[in-house]
Amino acid sequence: MGGIYGPGRELIKIFSRASGTTRPGNGQDVTNWIHLDDIVAAIEFARHYHLDGIYNLVDDAHIASKELLDTLFKKHNLPTVTWDVSQKSNRPYNATVSNQKIKDAGYKLIHPQMIFD
């Protein structure tokens, strides 16, 4: 499952401390997120259709960290992040996670792209 956002887990609350800071790397690492509405709906879908096995639950966005943070902070009129390319990124993972299996089973994402509220 991707990072969870939605009611009670607003992106601005999750990332507000990063505003105006310097982070290691170039910000091109991939992020995988899922809206809370899709978590609830996908679980119900899997239960209703008796899905078996492992299904990745992420949206279609696969936004780079830099794009995510720049978009979020600009929307909220906050200072953006400065990236220090002389330092290696401290993110342990950098992978695009596929949601194709659950979509092939018939699930349609409620929020296929991130909502920057």
Q: What is the pLDDT of residue 10?
A: 94
Domain 3-104 CATH (choose: 3.40.50.720, 1.10.150.120, 3.40.630.30, 1.10.3090.10): 3.40.50.720
Q: What is the pLDDT of residue 88?
A: 87
Q: What is the pLDDT of residue 16?
A: 94
The tens digit of pLDDT for each residue in 50-97 reads 999 999 999 999 999 999 999 999 999 999 999 999 998 887 778 899
Q: What is the pLDDT of residue 94?
A: 84
Q: What is the pLDDT of residue 93?
A: 75
Per-domain boundaries in the chain: 3-104
Q: What is the pLDDT of residue 73?
A: 96
The tens digit of pLDDT for each residue in 20-59 reads 999 999 999 999 999 999 999 999 999 999 999 999 999 9
Q: Which residues contact 77 (CB under 8 A, 6 or more apart)?
A: none
Q: Residue 112 pLDDT > 90, yes or no? A: yes
C-alpha span between 72 and 10 (Å, rounded) = 11
Whether pTM exceeds 0.85: yes
| DSSP 3-state of 82 | strand
